[in-house]
Amino acid sequence: MGVSGGTASLFEVLDGKETKDGERSRWIGKDISHAVDEVGFYEKAQAMKDQPGWGVLSYTFESLGVQDLPCTSSDGSEDLGTKKLLILHNLHHRMKKLRMQDVKIGKYTADADWMGKSKTAAFRNNIVDDITNSGKEGYRLEGFDSMPSSLETLDPSLEMGKTSSPEKEKKKIRRLQFQRLSAEKFLNFLLDLADVEERSIEVTLSREEFAEAVLRNILKQMSDLCRYFEQVPVPQKWIGSSVALGFDVFQLPTRDESGLREMIKVIVNIFDWGRSELLQESEFNALSQKDQQDRREFWSHYKAGIYRLYYELARIYQNRYTSTALQHLRIVVSDYDAMSNDDAIGECVISMKETGGMIEVPLVTGKKLLTVKGEQSKISVKIEKRTSPPVAGKGSRFASGWLVTIGARPERILVSLQSWDISSVLRACKDLSKQIHVYGIATSSDCCERLRRDVQRRRDWRMRDQHEGDRR
C-alpha cells in the first residue's frame, strides 16, 4: 500500500469477506520489523482505553495485535513470504478517495539514546526540526494523500533543477516542501476542493459548503481530543507521533439525509508510536526525579503542538466563515519559491460587490506595474453573489456567499523577469489561472510556451552581456 509520510511497509489485509466494488479492507498490516516498539504501545493502549483519564486513547487506531500472514506485492506478482504484521484499522476503509494529512506533533521529534535513537541520528533529526515548521509551530506536515492540484503543481524539483532526478530524490524534495509549510498553508490545501466536480448546487453541496462541514466536524473532534489530553493522569513521552486529518474527496455530498451522513465522515486520529511510551500513574511515580522532569518537558511540547494545531483550525474557520460584512477584496499575486519566501508581483483591492461579468483590474506595487511589453499589468476578476438551497429540508448554514473568479493571461502580468527563474515565472502564471475556493480557469499551453521562450531569450541575453563584461 501507499504510505503517507512514513517508511514502514503496509499491507492491506484480505479477510475473505466480500466488499463492494473498489471498497478497501477494514484492516492493514504494518511490518513490525520497522515497528517493534509500537506493538507494546498498542497492546497497553487496548487494555487502558476504558480506564478513567485515558479517553485520549480512543483516538488511536483499533488494533488486533500481531499476526503471521503471507504477503505479496500490491499487484500480486511477487511472493514476499510470511511476515509478522501489526494489524491496525485501515483509514481507507469505506473511503472512495481519502484525502489525508500526516501531521507530526512536537517541537522535537527525536531524543538521543531514546528507543534506540543514537546521538548522531538525534542530532540530524533536531536539525530538521529547527529548519522546518516543527521549530516554529510545534508540528510539521509529513505526508499528504490525494493532495489538490494547487499543491501538486507547486513542484519544488522544477526550481531546484531536479526534474530528471530519480523518483526517490524527488520524494525527499517534496517531503521537505511539506515540512516547511505553516499550518495556515497546509490546512487550506486540505480544504481546497477546486478539483472536485461541482454539479448543480440544487442537487449537491457547493464546494465551500462541504469544506465548511468538514472543517466544523474536524474542529469538534479536535476539541474533544484536546479535552482528553488535559485529563491524562501523568506526563508522557510521545516522540515523533502524528495526527491524521482526513475526509473523502471522491464527490460532493448530496443535499438529502445521506449527504448529511457523508459530511460527518471525517478522520481525526493519533498514530505512529514507534518512539513513544505509555506510562500509568504508578509507573511514572517510580521514575527518578530527572526522568519525571524529562517526561514533563516532552509532554508540554507535545500538548503545545496539539493545542496550536487546534487553534489554527479554529482560526481558519473564524476567518473563512464568520465574516458577515465584507467590504473589500484584496488579491495578491506572487511567484512560487521552493526554498525561500515567495516574491510579491503585485496586488489590487476592489469593492466586494457583484461585477456583472469579468472585469479587468490593474495590478500595482505602490507604483504602476508594467508587463514585458510596457502595458499595464492586469488580472480579470468576476464577483457574484450566490445563495444555497436547503440541506435535508433545513436551511443551509450559508445565508449567502461570494463567488470570486480570477483569471489572467500570463504575458499580461509578468514584469521584471530578470529577478525570477523560469520555474517561478511559470508557477506564477498557473497560480493566477484559478478561482478562489470554487472553480478553475485553465491557462492555455501555447501562452505558457510563448512565455517560456521569452524568458529563455532574456536569460540568453543576460548571459551574453555577462560574458562580454568578463572579456572586457
- In tens, the pLDDT along 338-370 reads 767 777 788 889 998 999 999 998 888 766 666
Res 315: pLDDT: 95
Taking CA atoms, 298 is separated from 42, 109, 304, in Å, by 20, 10, 10
Work out the burial of residue 29: count CB atoms within 10 Å of its CB; fewer than 13 is exposed, 13-18 middle, 19 or more buried.
buried
Q: pLDDT confidence of 22, banded at 50, 70, 90? A: low
Which segment of 85-99, 122-136, 289-303, 429-443 scores lowest on mean pLDDT? 429-443
Cβ contacts of 212 within 8 Å, gap of 6 or more:
317, 320, 321, 397, 398
Q: Look at residue 376 in the predicted model and tell me its pLDDT.
A: 80
Question: Is there a contact between 105 and 138 (Cβ–Cβ < 8 Å)?
Answer: yes
Residue where the block lists cell 463567488: 403
Confidence of residue 201 (pLDDT cuts 50, 70, 90): confident
pLDDT (0 to 100) of residue 177: 92
Q: In this predicted structure, what is the pLDDT of residue 4?
A: 54
Evaluate whether 106 touches 250 at the Cβ level (below 8 Å).
no
How far apart CA 191 and CA 186 sit, in angstroms, is: 9
- Whether 123 contacts 226, CB under 8 Å: no
Can you tell me the distance from the alpha carbon of 463 to that of 24, in angstroms, rounded to the nearest whole number? 55
pLDDT band, very low/low/confident/very high, at 448 (cuts 50, 70, 90):
very low
Q: What is the pLDDT of residue 415?
A: 34
> Mean pLDDT over residues 421-430, rounded?
36
Residues in CB range of 168: below 8 A, 6 or more apart: none
Mean pLDDT of all residues belonging to the chain: 82
**Residue pLDDT, tens place only, 27-68:** 999 998 877 889 999 999 999 999 999 999 999 999 999 999
- pLDDT, residue 467, reads 57
d(CA 375, CA 368): 10
Confidence of residue 155 (pLDDT cuts 50, 70, 90): confident
Predicted confidence at residue 443, as pLDDT, reads 32
Higher pLDDT, 409 or 60: 60
Of 279 and 10, the one with more pLDDT: 279
pLDDT of residue 21: 57
* Of the ranges 14-18, 189-193, 388-392, the best mean pLDDT one: 189-193
- Residue 336 CA neighbour count, 13 Å, CB half: 22
More confident residue, 191 or 327: 191
Percentage of the chain surpassing pLDDT 90? 49
Averaged over 418-433, what is the pLDDT? 35
| Residue 154 pLDDT > 60 | yes
Alpha carbon dihedral 176, 304, 215, 395, in 10-degree steps, equals -160
Predicted confidence (pLDDT) at residue 412 exceeds the cutoff of 70: no
Domains of the chain: 96-320 (3.30.470.160), 328-471 (no CATH)
Average pLDDT over residues 424-453: 37
Query: Residue 434 — pLDDT band, cuts 50, 70, 90?
Result: very low
The number of angstroms, rounded, from the C-alpha of 420 to the middle of its chain's C-alpha atoms is 27
As beta bridge partners, residue 405 has: 382, 435
pLDDT value of residue 336: 80
| β partners of residue 362 | 378
Helix or strand run (H / E) with residue 276: strand 275-276
Mean pLDDT on 450-464 = 52
Task: From 410, 426, 405, 310, select the one nearest 350 (Cα to Cα).
Answer: 405
Task: Give the Cα separation of 384 and 353 in Å (integer).
Answer: 7
Provide DSSP, 39-80.
HHHHHHHHHHTTSTT-GGGGGSPPEEEEEEEEEE-TTS-SEE
Angle value at C-alpha 313, between 307 and 316, nearest 5 degrees: 140
Q: What percent of the chain has pLDDT over 70?
A: 79
In one-letter notation, the amino acid at residue 370 is L
Q: Which residue has the higher pLDDT, 15 or 64?
A: 64
Q: What is the pLDDT of residue 164?
A: 60
Helix (H) or strand (E) holding 262: helix 257-263
> pLDDT-derived band of residue 446, with 50, 70 and 90 as boundaries?
very low
Q: Which of 55-69, 146-160, 308-322 has the lowest mean pLDDT?
A: 146-160
